[in-house]
Structure 1
């Protein structure tokens, strides 16, 4: 064709113009798919697979749970920085329904914020003004609350195409329209005859919506599932513990896993729920899932004779397309202490011994900070980031912990560090590649583990295989004060290369929120005392704080719209520690306020003044015998403590029964406990497991504890 003119019906100039237009249009279309330009204020752009993979290119948005698939929770936005953070002020606030814990990470897409509150409700808000665009209520039955270990919380949604996905407390996965909140589809992901739940946020990978579940304290078998994002059809399911060996294994790898178990674990559930953390490497095409504790906790009941009990307390890598097993690493073989590995996993590139490594990092409950090769699962290093008593170290060659003698409490009790609350729990940590530090909400709490020989005598309710009385806070005031002095919370900046703390900041309360780190040299964290704080990422010095009026346990995010940077945090006190261990959080700001708070430079809005009502303590005379009160204490610790607090001391989420007007009258107490007068609020009837005399024994114990409180107040 050289030297010959191209035969066409259009001129050369017109052809060039058409070609140029086609090239520009194609390029713009591709760019729109990767990174649409946000419209003024609010838009409803679709979130494609390409956008999720390339989320790093969109610092103005927060497209997935950890901002990007790497789950680093690091924002490259830097208009808010060390030099001007003191000028931060409230831009807007939004009150959510309910007064329970808020744990969600907001998702922000092109000026729209999607966030969850109590009872798995989803809100769409204008990210600039806080105006509610729509709300979706999945209508979780209130009575399902009895199957929840850790409050009626939800940790957030996932977005893909034009849909928003949320897991519900009763085990459903729901897809709603991102524009108006209308239902697109829903599927029941868990058996309805077992006490499963969902509190974790879904993830979307290659069009599959990945979701796990909870219920490890109630005798369930864990698994993680994938559903087609468009239709809700199940694509695959990976069980984290083997079932009955007499039946075919659902996955060939479970045959290997079954060899690490003893006894008839499948009759007790086994545990291993994937209740929170996941991460995805798009280059390796590996999905990493964090696996939870054994069910029951006590291995000598669950798997008599020992064994590693795979895949409990493990990081498991699978193919997101099929659920095919690739590799695993177990942080706590033979798990016996509720040391889950369901905590957040971060993907990063670190230089270790002169070599660049693609790593996955985790600070699970057991107190060791782990660095693994994320391609192969090879163990690289682990060191304790909090006080640890159950193991002396992790062997550098085998990657296995050196468990101390007696730690499994087979013959006598064991004072364990960390406690079942963990050295680090679900509260999100963040990694800043500029400082090379991981910012972790950490805790030092002891717990008295003791075998429960009467496990089979009370198979209902929360049944952990440990003695509930032995693990409870002592009622002696002086002993309790001594134990409370041991309960510590910190913000810890951890160097994953040197495997040591760069700095720590002490907290008033043990139970605190997740972290966000930014390119502006800042670390943001809310705490249980009701403060939202910005720290210098290099040294931990405070540079700004705000009175949120209530305790914070959620993690912040940063986004921008029209060039303005915002910092957002959910403020709402709750979760497992305030429900269960009220004694440890008495200094918390538990004001039953549930809000989204959003800040910007120069923000000038104010929160309304709180009207705090002082509780009155006026218990009836205690006429019950010591035997009756002791029986009531035992029943309380079996059926009531996980919602109303260990030894009847509330952490400010649900009513403190010592102050309850219902304990003044026997008939009123019976109406609630036996007849279910408050079932619509989640306080179900216990008629199936308690007789009238049992309810009265519990009332006698609560009255006794109210008089104990009066004595303490008089002594002070």
Structure 2
């Protein structure tokens, strides 16, 4: 084995020399810059983060507002670990300090001053949960009543700001809370924390407890609530590191944590579903962001669904969207193989149909050939064992990897030309709708701008409605809502006609659409328009183009509540689409907890109602959108 030892020694020496040379180059550049970290940023980060819209990454301004903890995690364990591997601990620290001005994670102290006392510390688990999962209820309808929220249509048309709470070193409010009675359980992703608030006194919220992730990793999903077989009431949610956390709702103490990172780029985004005898966890993956790099052996990851024991986290079954990747081309051009199939990330939150014993969800694009039939698809699997019941592919041959393009250069070894190259996932969670005539349908929204209605038992298409051609950011992005035979779908971008793809009315506009769930016909449309007047045009990035409805809508007492990408809140009449109220959050706010805060883009999910308050998290510092770090509470005017 001496020959192996010599080769290993030579390899270490070469690697060390290369690393030393890189470190020396970083030091030379740094000596010519006002801040040591500026050179590191220019060498390793600027190409993407100075062009956030094209690369779908946070802008430099977004990075500057993040915490030390968030950036260090991204560079050592998260999406940027490949880039971070080129940095020494010293240069990594210089980079983070250059961006944030910080040298370590700041310890938040505001929760102590806002701590609940006396009877407000308790969580009333006898109260009915109003928001137990992504879609609020078991059918994922995203609909709440006046009784559940203490808010009527008339009150939602005249709201005032009641209070604001800021979260330090945070750039986005990407998750909605679970709500049980008058207790609100809000995860704040970059803080790596879930906060339990009491709002029994709507004017004076207080903090019951705080759960911090053991590793300090950021969180990612919204929480799900349920009572498991042994009688314990729990919350389940997941982190950016693909760790599932299950905690006691009364105390915030963990029952267990479990990594569900089954592949190298696994990620959790969809909210879990808590049942008495299992917790259903969708697992996505982000190989799409790295597969275009020739250094990456592409592509090997795909989406899965796991059923976990709610008391222990032990795996009960696993569903794979496709078989593991194998070589599909022996030589991609450099002697290495191209691997496939891959893709089908599961970004959305599943709906469980206990009557039929099925779980419904949607998937995303392929990352390498062949484009498996479970990519860009709606799928039903059996609750008891995870076997596939049916699958309906909405868009075929959508092989998409960032950096490739529809006509990639020959030196892009992982890229292919035989693709529609659209990236039109089902990012929006499906709805199990019950119509007034008793019929049930699976409803789903796709980033292509297409609404689908399927038969729950077979997956047969009942109708489809194309609201444009969408794009990688939607179309229909984060969600849809359903009430009284109407489907509500926000549109981020209408897109343009694409040869060979579905036709649509060229007069369609960005905004909110109400569609008849029986037929797929339009009932009404609200057109969103940019507001770039005065200083607002400077505060809202790309104001004239980025103003659509990307986040999932919330329906309260027949009123559609929706946030826009340029930071405005809207209340629309669910029957007519009439605008009832609007509020601009793109500004600084004075907060109850004394933390400096400002509003930004509305994306993902963040709008709920509880005890006469409308709660909305403002800020989404990704893709060059306006960052923000504030939870806003609105109350009806007297």
Q: TM-score, normalised by structure 1?
A: 0.56
Q: Tell me the SS of whatever aligns to 1:332.
A: coil
> Which structure's CA Rg is the greater one?
1
Contact conserved, 1:225 with 1:238, CA < 8 A, in 2?
yes
Write the distance in 1 (CA, Å) between the matches of 2:259 and 2:360. Answer: 23
Alignment length, in residue pairs?
Answer: 433
- Measured against aligned partners, the alpha-carbon deviations of 1:380-439 in whole angstroms (never above 9, x if no partner) come to 11121x223xxxxxxxxxxxxxxxxxxxxxxxxxxxxx222221112x221121xx2222
1:130 aligns with 2:218: no
Contact conserved, 2:468 with 2:495, CA < 8 A, in 1?
no
Match of 1:340 among 425, 431, 435: 425
Contact conserved, 2:513 with 2:522, CA < 8 A, in 1?
yes
Give 5+ residue unaligned stretches, structure 2.
Answer: 1-117, 227-231, 291-298, 328-335, 400-421, 500-505, 531-546, 587-599
- What is the deviation of 1:41? 5.4
Number of the residue aligned with 1:528: 565
Contact conserved, 2:449 with 2:494, CA < 8 A, in 1?
no
Pick closer, same or farther for the CA change 1:196–1:526 going to 2, 3 Å.
Answer: same
Contact conserved, 2:474 with 2:492, CA < 8 A, in 1?
yes
Write the distance in 2 (CA, Å) between the matches of 1:320 and 1:429. Answer: 24
Write the distance in 1 (CA, Å) between the matches of 2:219 and 2:341. Answer: 23
Pick closer, same or farther for the CA change 1:593–1:423 going to 2, 3 Å.
Answer: closer
Write the distance in 1 (CA, Å) between the matches of 2:278 and 2:434. Answer: 26
Number of the residue aligned with 2:146: 77
1:271 aligns with 2:343: yes
Number of the residue aligned with 1:370: 452
Match of 2:612 among 560, 565, 575: 565
- What is the deviation of 1:97? 3.6
Pick closer, same or farther for the CA change 1:531–1:232 going to 2, 3 Å.
Answer: same
Write the distance in 2 (CA, Å) between the matches of 1:424 and 1:265. Answer: 36
Contact conserved, 1:103 with 1:153, CA < 8 A, in 2?
no
1:113 aligns with 2:113: no
Write the distance in 2 (CA, Å) between the matches of 1:173 and 1:368. Answer: 31
Number of the residue aligned with 1:687: none
- Measured against aligned partners, the alpha-carbon deviations of 1:178-235 in whole angstroms (never above 9, x if no partner) come to 233233211111147x122222211113331111223241442221111111101111
Number of the residue aligned with 2:61: none
Pick closer, same or farther for the CA change 1:486–1:154 going to 2, 3 Å.
Answer: farther
Pick closer, same or farther for the CA change 1:265–1:113 going to 2, 3 Å.
Answer: farther
Contact conserved, 1:206 with 1:321, CA < 8 A, in 2?
no
Alignment of 1:292-691 (within 5 A): 292-296=364-368, 302-303=369-370, 309-336=372-399, 337-350=422-435, 356-384=438-466, 386-388=467-469, 418-426=470-478, 428-433=479-484, 436-444=485-493, 446=495, 489-507=510-528, 508=530, 509-510=547-548, 512-519=550-557, 521-549=558-586, 550-560=600-610, 564-575=611-622, 579=623, 582=624, 590=626, 592-602=627-637
Contact conserved, 1:358 with 1:375, CA < 8 A, in 2?
no
- What is the deviation of 1:244? 4.9
Alignment of 1:18-57 (within 5 A): 43-46=122-125
- Measured against aligned partners, the alpha-carbon deviations of 1:25-46 in whole angstroms (never above 9, x if no partner) come to xxxxxxxxxxxxxx98564244
- What is the deviation of 1:157? 0.9
Q: Tell me the SS of whatever aligns to 2:318.
A: strand
Q: TM-score, normalised by structure 2?
A: 0.62
Pick closer, same or farther for the CA change 1:523–1:326 going to 2, 3 Å.
Answer: same
1:187 aligns with 2:258: yes
1:61 aligns with 2:130: yes
CA RMSD across the alignment: 3.2
Pick closer, same or farther for the CA change 1:373–1:326 going to 2, 3 Å.
Answer: same
Give 5+ residue unaligned stretches, structure 1.
Answer: 1-38, 52-57, 143-151, 247-263, 297-301, 389-417, 451-484, 604-716
Q: Tell me the SS of whatever aligns to 1:83.
A: helix
- What is the deviation of 1:516? 1.1
Q: Tell me the SS of whatever aligns to 1:84.
A: helix
Write the distance in 1 (CA, Å) between the matches of 2:337 and 2:178. Answer: 39
Q: Tell me the SS of whatever aligns to 1:574.
A: coil
Contact conserved, 1:242 with 1:266, CA < 8 A, in 2?
no
Write the distance in 2 (CA, Å) between the matches of 1:169 and 1:555. Answer: 17
Contact conserved, 2:452 with 2:463, CA < 8 A, in 1?
yes
Runs of 4+ displaced beyond 6 Å? 447-450, 485-488
Number of the residue aligned with 2:224: 158
- Measured against aligned partners, the alpha-carbon deviations of 1:584-615 in whole angstroms (never above 9, x if no partner) come to x6xxxx2x431222223248xxxxxxxxxxxx
